[in-house]
């Protein structure tokens, strides 16, 4: 018997260099199973690049990214998705012409491959999953509306839903509350606190009020490295963190 929470993600000695500029340099970063981790840091710190590296969009110059026992740096982007890593980019990309229901339906895993699409039957199980997901993302009332009618914040939720319906073990969210109203931010905090059941989530954010509502452990990045890590209080009182933020 062990009480230790198993590591889900281990990023070690990670470096990526763009024409000699190191956007990530010797980074070590560990996430446990069931963790909601917030990554903060000034613009240009390398936060988005870190997510690009985890999801395989960018390949590192050096270092390792282990997801359980799998070395992700050797895999292609779609293989990383199959392994259970879902990524949401900064700008929402939903199918504007499809309804909320259809957006969730096409994101359902078995609907995805060419054969899957041809053979795909919307069974009661799929229908239930779509409705559960819609409820989780506050869009039950909008199920039959085209996505084009959603507010920017609702589109962000829909995109989170399109990832959730695939049941990823690790969810990567890049500034999910950008462009959201205060009320939408509160609901999103609630959503993120709920979806960590059975999965880990890494959220990049720089809205400090929002971070306070969700943060358990915070990683502060600066110039491609981890500057500080700990709970919100520890990190906020760290002189190095204060300096970096005041410097902006």
Residue numbers at the binding site for ligand ADP (CB under 6 A): 18, 23, 41, 43-49
Nearer to ligand ADP (CB atom), residue 150 or residue 235: 235
Nearer to ligand ADP (CB atom), residue 3 or residue 43: 43
Q: Which does 46 bind (CB under 5 to 8 A by kind): ligand ADP, Mg ion, none?
A: ligand ADP
Angstrom distances, CA of residue 76 to CA of 14, 28, 66, 73, 106: 17, 22, 14, 8, 22
Nearer to ligand ADP (CB atom), residue 57 or residue 112: 57
Q: How far is the CB of 28 from ligand ADP (least distance, A)?
A: 17
Cα-Cα end-to-end distance for the chain: 48
Nearer to ligand ADP (CB atom), residue 178 or residue 187: 178
Stretch that binds Mg ion, among 45-53, 155-163, 189-197, 208-216 (CB under 5 A): 45-53
Q: Which does 49 bind (CB under 5 to 8 A by kind): Mg ion, ligand ADP, none?
A: ligand ADP
Question: HEC profile for the chain?
Answer: CCCCCCEEEEEEEEEEEECCEEEEEEEEEEEECCCEEEEECCCCCCHHHHHHHHCCCCCCCEEEEEECCEEHHHCCHHHHHHHCEEEECCCCCCCCCCEHHHHHHHHCHHHCCHHHHHHCCCCHHHHHHHHHHHHHCCCHHHCCCEHHHCCHHHHHHHHHHHHHCCCCCEEEEECCCCCCCHHHHHHHHHHHHHHCCCCEEEEECCCHHHHHHHCCEEEEEECCEEEEEECHHHHHCCHHHHHHHHCC
- 48 forms part of the interface with Mg ion (CB under 5 A): yes
Angle, helices 152-164 vs 124-136, to 10°: value is: 140
Q: How far is the CB of 141 from ligand ADP (least distance, A)?
A: 34
Nearer to Mg ion (CB atom), residue 89 or residue 120: 89
Q: Which does 18 bind (CB under 5 to 8 A by kind): Mg ion, ligand ADP, none?
A: ligand ADP
Q: How far is the CB of 92 from ligand ADP (least distance, A)?
A: 17
Q: How far is the CB of 24 from Mg ion (least distance, A)?
A: 12
- 154 forms part of the interface with Mg ion (CB under 5 A): no
Q: How far is the CB of 203 from Mg ion (least distance, A)?
A: 12
Question: For Mg ion, how many residues bind (rule: CB under 5 A)?
Answer: 1
Q: How far is the CB of 69 from ligand ADP (least distance, A)?
A: 27
Q: How far is the CB of 175 from ligand ADP (least distance, A)?
A: 8
Nearer to ligand ADP (CB atom), residue 154 or residue 156: 156
- Which residues are at the interface with Mg ion (CB under 5 A)? 48
């Amino acid at each position: 018997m062990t009480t230790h929470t198993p590591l889900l993600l281990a990023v070690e000695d990670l470096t990526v260099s763009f024409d000699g500029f190191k956007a990530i340099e010797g980074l070590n970063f560990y996430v446990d199973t069931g963790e909601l981790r917030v990554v903060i840091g000034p613009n240009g710190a390398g936060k988005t690049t870190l997510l690009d590296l985890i999801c395989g969009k960018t390949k590192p110059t050096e270092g390792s990214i282990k997801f359980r026992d799998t070395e992700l740096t050797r895999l292609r982007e779609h293989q990383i998705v199959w392994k259970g890593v879902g990524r949401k980019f900064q700008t929402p990309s939903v199918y504007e012409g499809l309804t909320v229901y259809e957006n969730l339906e096409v994101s359902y895993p078995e609907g995805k491959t060419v054969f899957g699409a041809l053979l795909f039957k919307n069974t009661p199980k799929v229908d239930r999953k779509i409705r559960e997901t819609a409820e989780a993302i506050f869009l039950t009332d909008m199920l039959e509306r085209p996505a084009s009618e959603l507010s920017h914040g609702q589109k962000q939720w829909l995109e989170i839903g399109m990832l959730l319906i695939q049941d990823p073990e690790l969810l990567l969210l890049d500034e999910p509350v950008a462009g959201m109203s205060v009320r939408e931010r509160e609901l999103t905090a609630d959503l993120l606190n709920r979806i960590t059941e059975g999965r880990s989530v890494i959220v990049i954010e720089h809205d400090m009020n929002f971070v306070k509502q969700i943060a358990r452990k915070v990683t502060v990045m600066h110039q491609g490295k981890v500057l500080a890590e700990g709970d919100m209080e520890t990190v906020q009182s760290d002189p190095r963190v204060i300096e970096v933020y005041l410097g902006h």
